[in-house]
Structure formats: C-alpha cells, structure tokens
C-alpha cells in the first residue's frame, strides 16, 4: 500500500460528510515544499516513483498534505498501475481539503485492487463529505464484505442509517457485534440511540455500560450513558458519571451545562453554586438562564423563576422546555391567560411529555374552557398509559431476548406477544416476534407479525425481505418480487434482499432483471459465491428462449 504516518490516515478516516465530481487540478503547492537533502539527492540521481512516494510520506508526516499530493501525483504518473500510490494521492488530496479531486485516484486505486479496506474507507469518507450518502454507504458495505468487524465501517454505516431514521437496521447491523464484545465506543453510542428510539432503554443502558468498561475515559460514551440514565430517572447515577467529565474539562461550557442540568434534575445542592459560577461567566447563555429558572422553580420562588425563563426564551425562543416551565410558573402566579399561551407554544415547538397536557388542561379549566380542559386531561391519561406500556414492553422484550439466547423460542415468542399487547405500534417488537415464530415453524403467525411490522413501518427492509422469502417459499413469486423490491428500495445496500430478488427473477425467467440484481450483490460483496454461481448458471441459459421453456 505504501507508507504514511498513522495520524495522517486516521485524520482522513475520521472525517464526515457533502457532493460533487472529480476535478483535475492539484491544490497549489506551497513554496515551502522543500524536500530534505537526502531525498532531494535521491530524486536528482534516480527520479523514481518510489523516491517521490518517500517524499510524499515525508511531507504527510509533517502535516503538509498539499506538498504530499504533488509528490504522490508524480509517483502515480510514473507507475499508474500502483494501487498504493493512487491511494496515497487520494488520501493526500482529501487531507488537503480537496475531496472532489480525491475521488479519481481513489477509484483508480480500487480498480487495481478492489480488496483495499483503507481505500474503500477513505473513498467512503470523501463521498460522505460530498453529500453522496448512498455511494458512501456502498463503500462502508464493501468494507464490511472484506472485514465484517471493521469498526470504522460499522460506525459510519450505522450513523447514516440513524440519520435516515432506520433504527431497526442499526440494531440488526450492530447487535451481532455487540454480542461478541467487540463493539467500538462510537458504534456503541449509535446502537444505544437505536435502542432508545425503539423504547429499549435497558438495552441502551447495557450496551453503553459495556462500552464504558472497555473505554473508561470515553467522553461520548459517558455523555450518552448519562442521558440514558436520565431517561431511566436515575439522576444521581447520571450526575456521578458526568462529574468525572466535568472535572476533566472545567473550561468546556457545554460539558459544564450538561453536568449542571443533571445536578438540577437530581436536586443536588451542588447545582446552585455551579449555576451561579456559570451565570457570572456567561450572563447571556440561554441554557444557563433556563437552568437557573429551574432552580428557582424547584425552590417555589415562582416570581424569580418567571424572570429567568423569560430571559432564556428571549434569547432562544424555539426551546420548548423554556416555554413549558414558563407556563407552569405563570399558572402558579395565577397568570392563567399568559400560562395558556406559553404552554400552547411549547406544544407547537414539539414538547411531548405527558405533563404538558395536564398543565394545559389546568389552564383551560381556570379560564372557563372545561371542554378543552377535559380533552387535555384525556390526552394526558392516554400519554401516561402509553409511557407505562412502553416500560412494560421494554421489560418483556428483555425477557424475550434472554429466552431466545437460551434457545427457548416458544417462550421468547410468548414474551414478544406480551410486549406487543401493550405497545402494539412498535415495529421492532413485531419483527422480533416473527423471527421467534420462524424458529418454531409457525409460518402463519410469522406472516401476521411481519405484516404488522410493515404496516407500522413500510421502510423496514428486513421485514419486507422476510415476507418476500415466505412468499417465495409459497411459490407466490410475484408477491415475493414486490417485497424484495421494497426491501432494496428501503435499504439499497441490503445484499441478501438483492440476492433473493435475483433468485425470484430467475424463477420467472426474467434473466436481464436477475443479472441486474446480481450486479448489485456483487457490487456490495464482490466475493459472493452464491452470486457468482447463479451468474454462471445464467451464462448457460439462452435468454432468447421463451419463458415457458
């Protein structure tokens, strides 16, 4: 591949996201691109590709990526068939802030050597930065076909799936790695977010606790774990974890604010002096003002709280929590019309806690609108019941996972059914039930559960693929093709669904379509033996033959 300093490679592989096409000019080389005497003498005597590559690595190690790119470009010109030199040129261009120009040499490198994990990772980062998310995801999946445990690919792909709101796919992608104990800290955070989205706070806590044991100083893991603990109402535990980070970064305002927020929720006496210190240093920081308002509200000093919330809302009028708490203290001060206005603004801004409906109902009642008050009270009761149901469902889901891990699929299915009975609109529960029923041979029950999952989330690719598989097994090929197509539309990187689609097309003698689907399989997994075997068989078939033959 060629030598380059580890920091240089890591800085590129860690980059994020945006879109364009490759350009041809190189970044301007600095007049400071002076080679060391030993390499200069070597170049003068033997201006070879390897000498220019050594110069490029020398510049890279000194944080001069534009100079490195010029040197590597000469190495590539002399040896255009070197995958390593092309890769290093692309890497240097990206590090020099020229992602568009980096695409061509990286693709050149991969045409020569398609098995280079590093080249796929850098190209994925380039495409991601350029906004070409689908193309970037293909690179992450290609890496995983070469190295199924690649931390970088798992982190980037799971991050992109979360951006799309596809938390079920994140769980399906990362959970097997979680079971091995080899999940990286960033991937663990991504998995915890997916679990949280599914209402599985216990699972989110467990994956983060394991990640923290492996990475005791990881700030992102500590912050994510503290957030989950807050959602579990374990405020003191959250404060204990965040206190470590707060002591480590006393000058980081956002970390101090997060720590303060948890201290306020925990009712910790350390919150008041910390808030005073932060307020003195940052008198117009809206979140510190908001937290001071919470402290005054908790102390039942509603007049003072009103002032702090009003100041915070003036600086950040879009923060729903400020509006909610301002409405609550206005109710306490008998300013009911103003309270109603603030609470309605909180709802409009997306405040979703059940308590909002209780407080808004109080405001309507005090203003004489009993019909609206009753409606809010009913909504409050419904939301409270839904919250409780999610907690029950989460507990049953955990029991089901334990039973499934022990190989007791019938018991697992029973627990999943219990979870669904109290949280019927969670598609992950329905899908998990379907997979447990598949193990027990209850195909009718599996189909019903899959249809429920798809009804709740038509974009759940794994459920669409499994339903297509059931249809294919039942010789309902048209229906199978429809579900496989929906699966790959929802997740274009779903290699297994593309393979199933190819097989279904073959059954219907749709050879061209089958080849197209197999092309996607091999793009995602060039070494796929089943895809190569099916292509070999297709090569023996004359596509001009009538379909009935």
How far is 109 from 94, CA to CA, in rounded Å? Answer: 14
In the block, which residue shows the tokens 């009913």? 378
Q: Provide the angle, in degrees to the nearest 10, between the axes of the packed helices 133-146 and 511-524.
A: 70
What CATH number is associated with residue 471?
1.25.40.10
Supply the pLDDT for residue 542.
Answer: 57
Residue 78 included in any domain: yes
Give burial (CB, 10 Å; 0-12/13-18/19+) of 226.
Answer: buried
Give burial (CB, 10 Å; 0-12/13-18/19+) of 547.
Answer: exposed
Residue 60 included in any domain: yes
Supply the pLDDT for residue 210.
Answer: 95
Residue 464 included in any domain: yes
Whether the CB-CB separation of 332 and 304 falls below 8 Å is answered with no
Give φ, ψ of 33 to 5 degrees. Answer: -75, 65
Residue 142 included in any domain: no
How far is 548 from 311, CA to CA, in rounded Å? Answer: 77
Point out the domain boundary residue: 131, 165, 190.
131
The residues, ordered by sequence, that sit 6+ positions from 316 with a Cβ below 8 Å of its Cβ are 286, 287, 322
Residue 410 included in any domain: no
How far is 133 from 18, CA to CA, in rounded Å? Answer: 8
Supply the pLDDT for residue 43.
Answer: 85
Residue 334 included in any domain: no
Supply the pLDDT for residue 6.
Answer: 33
Supply the pLDDT for residue 38.
Answer: 86
Whether the CB-CB separation of 475 and 483 falls below 8 Å is answered with no
How far is 256 from 288, CA to CA, in rounded Å? Answer: 10
Given CA atoms 122, 128, 133, 137 in this order, what sign does their dihedral have? positive
**Domains in the chain, number:** 2
* Centroid of chain to Cα 524: 20
Supply the pLDDT for residue 34.
Answer: 86
Q: Is the pTM of this model over 0.85?
A: no
Residue 249 included in any domain: no
Given CA atoms 469, 470, 472, 473 in this order, what sign does their dihedral have? positive
Point out the domain boundary residue: 97, 131, 165.
131
Whether the CB-CB separation of 346 and 327 falls below 8 Å is answered with yes
From first to last of the 549 residues of the chain, give the pLDDT tens digit.
443 333 233 333 333 222 223 333 455 555 578 888 888 888 888 889 989 999 999 998 989 999 999 999 999 999 999 999 999 999 999 999 999 999 999 999 999 998 999 999 999 999 999 999 889 988 998 899 889 889 999 999 999 889 888 888 899 899 989 888 889 999 999 999 999 988 889 999 999 999 999 999 999 999 999 999 999 999 999 999 999 999 999 999 999 999 999 999 999 999 999 999 999 999 999 999 999 999 999 999 999 999 999 999 999 999 999 999 999 999 999 999 999 999 999 999 999 999 999 999 999 999 999 999 999 999 999 999 998 998 899 889 889 988 988 999 999 999 999 999 998 988 999 999 999 999 999 999 999 999 999 999 998 999 999 999 999 999 999 999 999 999 999 888 889 999 999 999 999 999 999 999 999 999 888 888 999 999 999 888 755 543 333
Print the domain residue range for 495. 458-549
Point out the domain boundary residue: 99, 131, 163.
131
Given CA atoms 41, 42, 44, 45 in this order, what sign does their dihedral have? positive
The structure tokens listed for 406 are: 């022990």
Residue 504 included in any domain: yes
């Amino acid at each position: 591949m060629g030598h380059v300093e580890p920091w240089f490679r890591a800085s590129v592989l860690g980059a994020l996201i945006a879109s364009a096409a490759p350009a041809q000019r190189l970044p301007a080389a600095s007049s400071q691109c002076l080679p060391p005497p030993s390499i200069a003498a070597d170049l003068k005597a033997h201006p070879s590709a390897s000498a220019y590559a050594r110069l490029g690595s020398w510049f890279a190690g000194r944080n001069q990526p534009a100079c490195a790119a010029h040197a590597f470009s000469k190495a590539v010109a002399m040896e255009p068939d070197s995958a390593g030199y092309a890769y290093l040129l692309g890497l240097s261009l990206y590090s020099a802030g020229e992602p568009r120009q980096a695409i061509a040499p990286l693709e050149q490198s991969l045409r020569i050597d398609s098995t280079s994990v590093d080249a796929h990772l850098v190209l994925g980062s380039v495409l991601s930065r350029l906004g070409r998310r689908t193309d970037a995801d293909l690179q992450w999946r290609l890496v995983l076909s070469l190295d199924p445990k690649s931390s970088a690919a798992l982190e980037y792909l799971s991050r992109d799936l979360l951006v799309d709101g596809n938390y079920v796919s994140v769980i399906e992608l990362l959970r097997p790695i979680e079971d091995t104990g080899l999940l990286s800290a960033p991937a663990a955070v991504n998995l915890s977010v997916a679990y949280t989205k599914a209402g599985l706070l216990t699972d989110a806590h467990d994956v983060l606790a394991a990640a923290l044991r492996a990475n005791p100083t990881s700030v992102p893991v500590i912050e994510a774990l503290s957030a989950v603990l807050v959602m579990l109402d374990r405020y003191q535990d959250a404060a204990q974890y965040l206190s470590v980070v707060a002591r480590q970064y006393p000058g980081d305002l956002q970390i101090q604010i997060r720590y303060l927020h948890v201290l306020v929720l925990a009712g910790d006496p350390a919150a008041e002096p910390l808030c005073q210190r932060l307020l003195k240093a940052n008198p117009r920081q809206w979140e510190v003002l908001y937290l001071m308002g919470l402290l005054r509200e908790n102390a039942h000093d509603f007049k003072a709280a009103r002032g702090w919330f009003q100041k915070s809302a003036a600086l950040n009028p879009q923060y729903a929590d400020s509006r909610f708490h301002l409405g609550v203290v206005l109710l306490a001060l008998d300013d009911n019309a103003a309270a109603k206005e603030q609470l309605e603004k909180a709802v409009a801004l997306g405040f979703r806690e059940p308590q909002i409906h209780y407080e808004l109902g109080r405001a309507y009642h005090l203003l004489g609108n009993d019909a609206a008050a009753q409606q809010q009270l009913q909504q409050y009761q419904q939301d409270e019941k839904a919250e409780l149901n999610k907690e029950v469902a989460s507990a049953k889901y955990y029991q089901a996972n334990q039973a499934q891990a022990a190989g007791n699929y019938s018991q697992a299915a029973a627990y999943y059914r219990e979870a669904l009975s109290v949280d019927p609109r969670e598609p992950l529960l329905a899908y998990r039930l379907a997979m447990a029923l598949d193990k027990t041979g209850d195909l009718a029950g599996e189909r019903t559960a899959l249809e429920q999952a798809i009804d709740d989330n038509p974009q759940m690719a794994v459920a669409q693929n499994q339903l297509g598989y059931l249809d294919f097994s039942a010789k309902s090929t048209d229906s199978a093709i429809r579900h496989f197509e929906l699966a790959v539309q929802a997740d274009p990187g779903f290699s297994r669904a593309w393979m199933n689609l190819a097989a279904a097309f073959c059954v219907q003698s749709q050879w061209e379509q089958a080849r197209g689907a197999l092309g996607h399989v091999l793009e995602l997994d060039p070494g796929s033996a089943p895809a190569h075997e099916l292509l070999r068989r297709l090569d023996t078939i004359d596509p001009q033959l009538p379909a009935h033959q």
